[in-house]
Amino acid sequence: MNTAGNSPGSSALNIEDILGSKISKVSVIVMILCFCILLMDGYDYGIISNASPLIMKEWNIEAAMFGPVFSVATFGWMIGAVVFGAISDRIGRKGTLLIGAAIFTVLSLCLYFSRTLSQLVIIRLITGFGVGGAVPVAMTMTSEYAPQNSKAKFVSIMFSGFMVGSTLGSYIAAGMMPAYGWRSIFLLGFIIPIPVIVCLAIFLPESARWLSLNLNTPQRRETLIRIVKRISPDLQIDDTTQFVAIKTEKKKEKYSPKELFAGKLAWVSPMLWLYYIISSLAVFFIGNWMPQVLVLKGLTAAHASSLMGTSGLFGILGTALIGVWLDKMGFRWGFIWPLLAILFTALTGGATGGILLVWMCINSFFMNGEHTSITSIVPNMYPVRIRAKGSGISNALAKIGSIIGPVIGGILISTGISMSKLFYFVSIPFIFCAVFSYVLGVQYDRHFSKLYSSGEQTPSEAPHS
């Protein structure tokens, strides 16, 4: 444990060292509660997609007009992430997460009472705003409380809550919509999160890092001491003990945007961003419109939701196994996943009956695995000192694909294009993903892995060949 004297007779405890020292009940509780936030987000994403065929039929809305309902939530997410980021610096991470969760929970009830497309668009925009406030904080809190050598594992488990929630949403929609109508699943989306929010208010600790930087009241100091004692009960703390939040393993350096384009990154960064955008376009195209496509194939909305739930289980499996594949085979072999996604996306369009479900499940496995692989590739292409910036920018730009994918899908479906041609079209982005995955994987295996493992902090000094 690192300590440093700030004044005679006093000691300073480094919060970073305390939080990263070991797995504790606190770190597990934080991960589980934040998992529930992502599960709620996934459920919201799943039910709007599965309810869309019934909403469009009841309100007599064309697919081209309904596309913005999917896209506007992502736009709201982007606004919420910025606004709530500033709010969290003032009121704390826990309060911000609770406000964000409360917003998208209440908006689910508002959607239950919606009657027009314009109301639906506004509700989805504000829902996305709330999600943008809660989800980034949940990710930050999970990473903060996770042990140093298990951060990636904790965040991965936490983030899997989205896929679990989306899959559960599909199954719940399949069970409830035939008997109670599409509005019932949004009413449930309001009721179920309430006890979760209560548990968050009671059991989720405030960010220890934020508290250590904002110890301007005795109450905050007492709260921080309670958290630290729960993690390290044997730690000696008295009235003279001070707390600091310093990452002692590396010196804080000034960041320059030019570093994102140093050396080979001059073309690698744009390729990474384009890869993320194109992959998001295809994934959100399929994820949002698949229930309606299945209805156009002659299935009932409930049957379509059931198939979505089953294929979602394979998506969860693909998301979990892509990391194992990349660790064993190397990043260059990640291109196999989008390559197979091309095949099974194309096959899904003309399939019917039992073979349709088979192709959907296999495609979900490779499509979701392929998309998840980007989150593994992106941070590894940047040196440690700019890794967070590089990942953050890539993730933000990916929202472009998340926004335009559903809009393009709605326009194409409204043209009356055949299902085979539609899925041939949506398989095209995966061709680019396969190429980008291979090129970037080769660059990492041959160049960046050796560069950063040798202690190089920037690729600018490396050969540009």
Task: Write the DSSP assignment of 393-405 as a string of letters.
Answer: HHHHHHHHHHHHH
- For residue 8, pLDDT beyond 70: no
Instruction: Give the residue with greater pLDDT, 76 vs 250.
Output: 76
Count of residues in the chain: 465
User: How far apart, in whole angstroms, are the C-alpha atoms of residue 276 and residue 380?
Assistant: 15
According to DSSP, the β-strands at 242-244 and 12-14 are parallel
- For residue 174, pLDDT beyond 90: yes
Instruction: Give the residue with greater pLDDT, 221 vs 339.
Output: 339
> What was the pLDDT predicted at 1?
45
> What was the pLDDT predicted at 375?
78
Cβ pair 406, 72 in contact under 8 A? no
| CA 180 to chain centroid | 31
User: How far apart, in whole angstroms, are the C-alpha atoms of residue 55 and residue 3?
Assistant: 60
> What was the pLDDT predicted at 451?
67
- For residue 250, pLDDT beyond 70: no
Overall average pLDDT of the 291-320 stretch: 94
User: How far apart, in whole angstroms, are the C-alpha atoms of residue 157 and residue 368?
Assistant: 15
Overall average pLDDT of the 392-402 stretch: 88
> What was the pLDDT predicted at 258?
83
Region of 458 on the Ramachandran plot (φ > 0 left; ψ -120 to 50 alpha; else beta)? beta
Overall average pLDDT of the 34-40 stretch: 94
Per-domain boundaries in the chain: 19-239, 256-465
- For residue 394, pLDDT beyond 60: yes
Lowest-confidence range among 195-204, 265-274, 293-302, 449-458?
449-458
CB atoms within 10 A of CB 348: 28
256-465 maps to CATH 3.30.365.10: no
Instruction: State the chain's mean pLDDT as an integer.
Output: 87
> What was the pLDDT predicted at 293?
96
Overall average pLDDT of the 81-98 stretch: 89
pLDDT-derived band at 395, boundaries 50, 70, 90: confident
> What was the pLDDT predicted at 253?
55
pLDDT-derived band at 456, boundaries 50, 70, 90: low
- For residue 248, pLDDT beyond 70: no
Shortest CA distance to 125 belongs to which of 141, 144, 110? 110
Dump pLDDT digits (tens) for 105-114. Answer: 999 999 999 9
Dump pLDDT digits (tens) for 122-145. Answer: 999 999 999 988 888 888 888 888
Instruction: Give the residue with greater pLDDT, 251 vs 318.
Output: 318
> What was the pLDDT predicted at 232?
82
- For residue 462, pLDDT beyond 80: no
Angle at the Cα of 191 from the Cα atoms of 131 and 77, rounded to 5 degrees: 10
pTM of the model: 0.85
Overall average pLDDT of the 376-380 stretch: 80
> What was the pLDDT predicted at 194?
96
User: How far apart, in whole angstroms, are the C-alpha atoms of residue 339 and residue 413?
Assistant: 24
Amino acid, single-letter form, for residue 214: N
> What was the pLDDT predicted at 320?
82
pLDDT-derived band at 345, boundaries 50, 70, 90: very high
> What was the pLDDT predicted at 453?
56
Lowest-confidence range among 251-255, 273-277, 346-350, 367-371?
251-255
Overall average pLDDT of the 249-269 stretch: 74
Same fold, 19-239 and 256-465: yes
> What was the pLDDT predicted at 58?
96
Helix and strand element counts for the chain (H, E): 17, 3
Overall average pLDDT of the 395-399 stretch: 87
> What was the pLDDT predicted at 122?
97
Instruction: Give the residue with greater pLDDT, 85 vs 429.
Output: 429
Name 137's Cβ contacts closer than 8 Å, sequence gap at least 6: 84, 88, 93, 96, 97, 100
- For residue 4, pLDDT beyond 50: no
- For residue 249, pLDDT beyond 50: no
- For residue 322, pLDDT beyond 70: yes
The half-sphere exposure of 437 on its side-chain side, counting CA atoms within 13 A, is 29
Domain 19-239: CATH class, spelled out? mainly alpha
- For residue 183, pLDDT beyond 70: yes
pLDDT-derived band at 458, boundaries 50, 70, 90: low
